[in-house]
């Protein structure tokens, strides 16, 4: 089924304008959520806002938004004032510069959208894709939507353009704030670590090989509860012990080798059982 566009816009750089449609690049599976119930009657509870000063429940039509500029000091805004401050949504996706694709650290990545050509934009759309592929560059652009101006990265994906929403520099904490210590890496340890990496390395990313095991387990437990079954707590996993690094690397390599051998034996098992099935067929035929 063809995807439905979320909206439309125009990629612009220099005197070139490319009409495009925006599509969601993700279909996020919502996490399992629970509602707050009254323990006595199992009725769902309603949220209320209470003014601690007047000690009374405040209805929505008596609420205003405010900004705390100092401790317990607020300045309030009307809806009209908030709209006046907000960035006006624009159809333009204004490219400001082209940069090498690998120069943008993935830590800046936020949400993503697909861009498809709108009416009359096919040729320019594919021209931009090919130009970015040939130069190895992606486009940084400004895009206004939902009352905010976004910094976005437009890159050539496998099948078309991808618009990656980026965080601003002041929204990303520097890793220098994280204490990482200082330790010497020994040659023997490094060789074993590289061997372990190569043992479980793949040449491509296959996202279809992964799923949310926690969500799946919770959904299964909820279904058992709906059917009237009790849910028992899972056994607590053993706590990790700090052991010699070299021994840990050797043990990891040995475990991976054992798992690989077991998998190979499992793959050969059906072939050994095939003659037995054939013999059973011959027995049935002779009885007939």
Burial profile 76-102: b = 16 or more Cβ within 10 angstroms, e = fewer: eeeeeeeeeeeeeeeeebbbeebeebe
Asked if residue 288 is part of any domain, the answer here is no
Structure tokens of 31? 């996490």
Q: CA 98 → CA 12, 79, 95, 106, distances in Å?
A: 13, 38, 8, 17
Q: Which residues contact 196 (CB under 8 A, 6 or more apart)?
A: 249, 252, 253, 256
State residue 103's pLDDT score.
93
The number of distinct structural domains making up the chain is 1
Task: Tell me if 280 is assigned to some domain.
Answer: no
Q: Assess if residue 152 is contained within a domain.
A: yes
Segment 109-112 long-range contacts (CB within 8 Å, at least 24 positions apart): 109/153, 109/164, 109/165, 109/166, 109/167, 110/164, 110/165, 110/166, 110/167, 111/25, 111/26, 111/165, 112/25, 112/26, 112/162, 112/163, 112/164, 112/165
Q: Indicate whether 98 pLDDT > 80.
A: yes
Which range (69-78, 140-149, 186-195, 241-250) has the least confidence?
A: 241-250
| Cα–Cα distance list, 232 to 33, 212, 223, 229, 235 (Å) | 20, 21, 14, 10, 9
pLDDT digits 0-9 by tens, 21-30: 999 887 766 6
Tell me the sheet residues that pair with 23: 114
Which of the 8 DSSP states describes residue 91? S
What does the DSSP 8-state code read for residue 212?
-
Q: Find the distance separating the first CA and the last CA of the chain, reported in whole Å.
A: 52
**Is residue 34's pLDDT more than 60?**
yes
Domain contains 164: yes
114 domain-assigned:
yes
Structural domain including 159 reads 7-26+87-171
pLDDT digits (tens, 9 = 90+) for 173-211: 998 998 988 888 889 888 888 888 888 888 888 878 888
**Beta-carbon count within 10 A of 164 CB:** 20
Q: Is 252 exposed, middle or buried (0-12, 13-18, 19+ CB in 10 A)?
A: middle
Looking at residue 89, what DSSP letter applies?
P
Q: Any idea what the CATH number is for the domain that residue 162 is in?
A: 2.40.290.10
> How does pLDDT run across 206-259, given as a tens digit for each residue?
878 888 788 888 888 888 878 888 777 666 666 655 456 677 777 777 877 777
Is residue 140 within 8 Å of residue 43, measured between CB atoms? no
- For residue 143, is it within any domain? yes
Q: How far apart are CA 98 and CA 131, in angstroms?
A: 11
Question: Using one digit for the tens of pLDDT, what is the confidence trace for 264-275?
Answer: 777 777 654 444
Of the CA atoms within 13 Å of residue 127, those in its CB half-sphere come to: 8
In a domain, 36, yes or no: no
Instruction: Please give the model's pTM, rounded to 2 decimal places.
Output: 0.65
CA-based diameter of the chain, in Å?
Answer: 95
Would you say residue 94 lies in a domain? Answer: yes
Question: Which of 7, 3, 23, 16 lies closest to 163 in space, CA to CA?
Answer: 23
């Amino acid at each position: 089924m063809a995807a439905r566009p979320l909206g439309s816009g125009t990629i612009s750089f220099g005197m070139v304008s490319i009409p495009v449609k925006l599509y969601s690049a993700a279909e996020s599976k919502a996490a399992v959520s629970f509602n707050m119930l009254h323990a006595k009657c199992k009725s769902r509870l309603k949220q209320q806002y209470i003014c601690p000063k007047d000690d009374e429940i405040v209805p929505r039509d008596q609420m205003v938004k405010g900004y705390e500029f100092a401790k317990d000091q607020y300045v309030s805004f009307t809806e009209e004032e908030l709209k006046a401050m907000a960035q006006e949504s624009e159809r333009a996706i204004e490219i400001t510069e082209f940069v090498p694709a690998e120069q943008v650290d993935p830590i800046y990545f936020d949400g993503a959208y697909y861009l498809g050509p709108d009416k009359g934009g096919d040729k320019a759309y594919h021209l931009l894709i090919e130009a970015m592929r040939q130069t190895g560059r992606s486009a940084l652009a400004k895009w206004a939507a939902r009352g905010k101006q976004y910094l976005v990265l437009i890159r050539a994906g496998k099948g078309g353009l991808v618009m990656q929403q980026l965080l601003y520099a002041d929204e990303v904490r520097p890793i220098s704030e994280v204490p990482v210590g200082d330790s010497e890496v020994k040659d023997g340890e490094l060789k074993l670590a590289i061997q372990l990496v190569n043992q479980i390395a793949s040449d491509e990313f296959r996202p279809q090989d992964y799923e949310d095991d926690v969500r799946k387990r919770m959904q299964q437990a909820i279904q058992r509860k709906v059917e009237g079954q009790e849910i028992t707590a899972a056994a607590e996993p053993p706590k990790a012990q700090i052991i010699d690094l070299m021994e840990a690397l050797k043990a990891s390599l040995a475990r991976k080798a054992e798992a690989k051998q077991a998998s190979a034996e499992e793959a050969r098992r059906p072939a050994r059982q095939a003659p037995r099935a054939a013999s059973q067929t011959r027995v049935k035929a002779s009885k007939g």
